[in-house]
């Protein structure tokens, strides 16, 4: 029997409360001048005290050396083995959008349900060359974002495919995303985007028989959008890529018997959480303090809370070492405030590392501290990338953190007699 | 999706350079008198300085407790999961031979290609007992090695099977190996060696339908060799075991996109490397200094270098503690010299441990230090069996070292968005 199925059999419910405090892109690497990492540089008495009474270590999302995106990083963080579960790129794009237009109306965030087809799109330019239409600019001269919005609204009014509902999600510059709802859709489709200019766009093709209807719908959308864009000055077609169906994924309640809530200020993370069956709590602002306030207000209502701090990743991508240090320092008292709630288990962790010296996600183990009354602490003086390796947790797979937290919460029966 | 397939999708090429410096049988255990291991005893300032700026830990080739031979040890070291790939014992024997006779000529090392059948052999003695021929000595009175050579040369002239090419590899005392090339050969065969005397040899039998032709060929070889040995004073038959086909194994370039070269002075290691698609560089002597010189001369020509030091294993088998210490000390400056080349990633490691107190391979994690500009160092003062466990690498599977090295070399795309 696979471990996940075994877990499902062993899990039971109690009234314990678990918090996953997630710094996106948490881990870093030494600054070339000081030799100290972001967390080693930051003055974070709250995180450090927490680490001293926790079991500390590192987490690897999908085997040593693999750098995860936010999708795989979060799936594994919530106990979903990546060999079994996947989030297509287009689904993540829809989840990450602020919202969508539908028949000319702004309808806000749309939840991709099982069987909904999602995809990334570019507004692009075609021109005639030697008797055929070829891509002259894959990004339509990097369309103004306001133009993008206007075009998405227009398309949502006029772009209709019989029997299907289309949601058009505007993005930045030339980028958008589509969500298509209707019968007989399935993933396994090639991109229409040829990835370079000077050649014609490709037709979307089904890579397996079940995807043939989805291919027809995509190609109809491309043809219809190209007609509708005929009068536009810069974009006169759309290129589609990363097409896939929202997975029929078990909820956290189905897998692990927990009623879960997400506190996140950015759409993609709310979207992933919603896909896994979490309730999305309204923070009302982008402020970290309001995230903690939301946690306090709903503390009685859920078994499991996912609280997401996005900015550590954003500044990591910019390579802004000092800013990342400063975010840890400013969030530190808020973390301490959250600990005043009566949690049974608290994990301080991340979805992946985003070291400022790399300016991107990395493969390094995610610094992690797990606290409960039954945890074995020791070995650690502060919460940072090097110290946690001396802790009692060792290096685990990300997918194992939630089962460990459930164990610390007394939510697993004994396996066998 | 399995990790190896995922890796293959993520890998891309750049101009980085990686060195795997491999001490065969690297790890040891405490000397009963001093309580210090071989590496703790050795004075190796070069290895120690390298460890201090590296991510250190231990590697397990195939799960805790499993002691690997050289074949599995090296396969996993080069990123081949042992659940998916195997090297039959006979193939390793052929790879480890100095060379072979073919039709009476010495043809040197022979490369076992996919579908070639390889096997280990013993020259043995039969005698009549109660009306049947039984094995009286499985080792033909431990034949003189010179006699073995003479017999192998003779067999290579006269031992012919229609449609098949036979290479006869002499070994020490009674040992030899055969490589058979021709149509319809497949592994899945029983040994003819009965493993004890006083009973008749067995016929080679096919354990699956595809191996039936191979079984016929093996039995014809046994019959024909027995006829040819009729006049010999000591050996009058051959016993075959470990029969198997050379695997159709993807090259390192196919798996991980690296152009790889091997620098090794012993045949088996060159053979394994050749099987994985590495170029074999001519060292021209058995001297470690010449191995480093070869590395320097070819530095521009490859992405990945495997440099193999055999003697740490050989003296480990002898239980010669002081000799092993001395080899580490004498190689230390050569390792430092190799580091003067402009490598992006260097791994200091082994294929398995050969502790002198055991006089054999062991299951203990392989002391390992991985260096690059983006590695997280820390926790380690010197390179030895105990210190590396305080490092940031933790204990990983051997198959994960190459993916980690590729990540440190910037050769992986992000997984998911």
Q: List residues bridging with A108 in a β-sheet.
A: A100
Domain end call among A230, A245, A260: A245
B10–A365 C-beta distance less than 8 A = no
Q: How far apart are CA B127 and CA B131, in angstroms?
A: 10
For residue A288, the surrounding DSSP H or E stretch is helix A288-298
Identify the segments of chain A with pLDDT beneath 50: none
**Residue B1 has what pLDDT?**
64
Q: A31 to each of A37, A322, A352, B217, how far by Cα in Å? A: 6, 10, 19, 65
B400–A361 C-beta distance less than 8 A = no
**Residue A231 has what pLDDT?**
86
Q: How far apart are CA A401 and CA A397, in angstroms?
A: 7
What is the pTM assigned to this prediction? 0.90
Q: Mark whether B324 and B309 lie in a shared domain.
A: yes
Beta strands in B25-86 (DSSP E): 55-60
Q: Mark whether B167 and B291 lie in a shared domain.
A: no
Q: How far apart are CA B192 and CA B225, in angstroms?
A: 13
Out of B379, B404, B417, whose CB is closest to A65? Answer: B404
| Contacting residues of B for A65, CB less than 8 Å apart | 7, 400, 403-407, 412
CB-based contact A76:A255 (threshold 8 Å): no
**Residue B332 has what pLDDT?**
98
Kindly state the tokens that stand for B251. Answer: 């090259």
Q: What is the mean pLDDT of residues B388-415?
A: 96
Q: Mark whether A82 and A97 lie in a shared domain.
A: no
Q: How far apart are CA A44 and CA A370, in angstroms?
A: 17
Domain end call among A220, A245, A270: A245
Which residue would you say has higher pLDDT here, B417 or B368? Answer: B368
Q: How far apart are CA B65 and CA A385, in angstroms?
A: 30
**Residue B267 has what pLDDT?**
87
Q: How far apart are CA A149 and CA A155, in angstroms?
A: 10
Q: Is residue A57 part of a domain?
A: yes
Which of these, A94, A97, A244, A221, lies nearest to A155 by C-alpha position? Answer: A221
Q: Mark whether B197 and B276 lie in a shared domain.
A: no
Q: Mark whether A320 and A336 lie in a shared domain.
A: yes
B1–A83 C-beta distance less than 8 A = yes
Q: Is residue A414 part of a domain?
A: no
Q: Mark whether B239 and B259 lie in a shared domain.
A: no
**Residue A1 has what pLDDT?**
66
Render pLDDT for B239-287 as a digit per residue (tens, 0 to 9): 999 999 988 899 999 999 999 999 999 988 998 999 999 999 999 999 9
Which residues in A have their CB inside 8 Å of a CB on B?
A: 29-30, 37, 58, 62-73, 83, 86-87, 89, 92-93, 242, 355, 357-358, 360-365, 385-386, 389-390, 394-395
CATH number at residue B317: 3.40.720.10
Q: Which domain holds residue B111?
A: 91-245
Q: Mark whether A282 and A296 lie in a shared domain.
A: yes
Q: Mark whether B77 and B105 lie in a shared domain.
A: no
When divided into structural domains, chain A yields a total of: 2
CB-based contact B388:B27 (threshold 8 Å): no
B412–A66 C-beta distance less than 8 A = yes
Which of these, A21, A54, A47, A49, lies nearest to A375 by C-alpha position? Answer: A54
Geometric angle at alpha carbon B72, from B399 and B211, rounded to 5°: 120
The whole-angstrom distance between B162's CA and the closest CA on chain A is 47
Q: How far apart are CA A134 and CA A141, in angstroms?
A: 15
The whole-angstrom distance between B414's CA and the closest CA on chain A is 5
Q: Mark whether A163 and A305 lie in a shared domain.
A: no
CB-based contact B317:B27 (threshold 8 Å): no
For residue A120, the surrounding DSSP H or E stretch is strand A117-129
**Residue B35 has what pLDDT?**
98
Q: Is residue B414 part of a domain?
A: no
- Residues in chain B, overall count: 417
Domain end call among A203, A222, A245: A245
Band of pLDDT at residue B324, cut at 50, 70 and 90: very high
Secondary structure letter of residue A73 according to DSSP: H
Kindly state the tokens that stand for A40. Answer: 């080693």
Q: How far apart are CA A258 and CA A406, in angstroms?
A: 9
Q: Is residue A34 part of a domain?
A: yes
Render pLDDT for B230-242 as a digit per residue (tens, 0 to 9): 989 889 999 999 9
CB-based contact A157:A104 (threshold 8 Å): yes
The whole-angstrom distance between A205's CA and the closest CA on chain B is 20
Helix (H, G, I), strand (E, B) or coil at A240: strand
Out of B376, B391, B417, whose CB is closest to A89? Answer: B417
Render pLDDT for A362-398 as a digit per residue (tens, 0 to 9): 999 999 999 999 999 999 999 999 999 999 999 999 9
Band of pLDDT at residue B229, cut at 50, 70 and 90: very high
B415–A62 C-beta distance less than 8 A = yes
B394–A386 C-beta distance less than 8 A = no
CB-based contact A235:A124 (threshold 8 Å): yes
| Contacting residues of B for A386, CB less than 8 Å apart | 376, 378-379, 392
Closest CA in chain B for residue A361? B414
Q: Mark whether A195 and A343 lie in a shared domain.
A: no
Q: Is residue B413 part of a domain?
A: no
The whole-angstrom distance between A288's CA and the closest CA on chain B is 24
Convert B247-286 into a string of H (helix), E (strand) and C (coil).
CCCCCHHHHHCCCEEEECCCHHHHHHHHHCCCEECCCCCC
CB within 8 Å of B19: residues ≥ 6 apart: B295, B304, B305, B307, B338, B341, B343, B345, B346, B347
Closest CA in chain B for residue A27? B376
B396–A62 C-beta distance less than 8 A = no
| Contacting residues of A for B10, CB less than 8 Å apart | 66
CB-based contact B249:B294 (threshold 8 Å): no
Q: Mark whether A257 and A186 lie in a shared domain.
A: no
A66–B7 C-beta distance less than 8 A = yes
Band of pLDDT at residue B96, cut at 50, 70 and 90: confident
Render pLDDT for A316-361 as a digit per residue (tens, 0 to 9): 999 999 999 999 999 999 999 999 999 999 999 999 999 999 999 9
| Contacting residues of B for A389, CB less than 8 Å apart | 378-379, 391-392, 394
Dihedral angle over CA of A204, A207, A208, A209, nearest 10: 30
The whole-angstrom distance between B33's CA and the closest CA on chain A is 30
B400–A63 C-beta distance less than 8 A = yes
For residue B309, the surrounding DSSP H or E stretch is strand B304-309
Helix axes B321-339, B288-298, angle to 10 degrees: 20
Q: Mark whether A134 and A105 lie in a shared domain.
A: yes
For residue B106, the surrounding DSSP H or E stretch is strand B105-108
What is the CB neighbour count within 10 angstroms for residue B14? 12
B404–A68 C-beta distance less than 8 A = no
**Residue whose token pair is 């997984």:** B415
Closest CA in chain A for residue B376? A29
For residue A256, the surrounding DSSP H or E stretch is helix A252-256
């Amino acid at each position: 029997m696979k471990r996940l199925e075994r877990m499902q059999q062993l899990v039971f419910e109690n009234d314990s409360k678990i918090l996953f405090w997630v710094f996106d892109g948490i881990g870093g690497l030494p600054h070339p001048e000081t030799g100290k990492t972001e967390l080693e540089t930051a003055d974070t008495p709250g995180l450090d005290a927490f680490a001293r009474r926790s079991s500390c270590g590192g987490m690897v999302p999908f085997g040593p050396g693999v750098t995860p995106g936010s999708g795989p990083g979060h799936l594994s963080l919530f106990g979903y083995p990546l060999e079994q579960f996947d989030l297509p790129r287009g689904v993540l794009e829809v989840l990450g959008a602020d919202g969508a237009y539908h028949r000319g109306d702004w309808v806000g965030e749309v939840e991709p349900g099982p069987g909904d087809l999602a995809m990334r799109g570019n507004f692009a330019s075609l021109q005639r060359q030697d008797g055929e239409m070829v891509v002259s600019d894959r990004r339509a001269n990097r369309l103004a974002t306001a133009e993008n919005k206007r075009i998405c609204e227009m398309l949502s009014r006029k772009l209709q495919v019989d029997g299907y509902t289309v949601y058009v999600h505007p993005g930045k510059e030339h980028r958008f995303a589509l969500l298509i709802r209707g019968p007989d859709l399935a993933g396994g489709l090639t991109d229409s985007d040829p990835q370079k200019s000077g050649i014609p766009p490709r037709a979307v093709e089904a890579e397996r028989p079940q995807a043939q209807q989805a291919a027809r719908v995509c190609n109809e959308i491309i043809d219809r959008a190209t007609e509708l864009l005929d009068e536009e000055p810069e974009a006169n077609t759309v290129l589609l890529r990363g097409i896939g169906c929202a997975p029929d994924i078990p909820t956290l309640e189905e897998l692990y018997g927990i009623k879960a809530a997400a506190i996140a200020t950015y759409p993609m993370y709310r979207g992933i959480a919603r896909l896994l069956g979490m309730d999305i709590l309204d923070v009302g602002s982008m402020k970290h303090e309001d995230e903690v306030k939301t946690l306090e207000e709903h503390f009685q209502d859920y078994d499991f809370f996912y609280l997401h701090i996005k900015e550590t990743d954003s500044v990591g991508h910019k390579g802004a070492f000092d800013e990342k240090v400063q975010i840890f320092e400013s969030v530190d008292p808020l973390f301490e405030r959250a600990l005043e709630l009566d949690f049974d288990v608290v994990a301080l962790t991340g979805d992946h590392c985003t070291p400022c010296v790399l300016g991107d996600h990395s493969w390094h183990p995610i610094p992690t501290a797990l606290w409960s009354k039954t945890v074995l602490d020791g070995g650690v003086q502060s919460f940072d990338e090097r110290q946690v390796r001396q802790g009692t947790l060792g290096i685990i797979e990300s997918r194992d953190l939630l089962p460990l937290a459930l164990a610390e919460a007394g939510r697993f029966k004994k396996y066998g007699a």
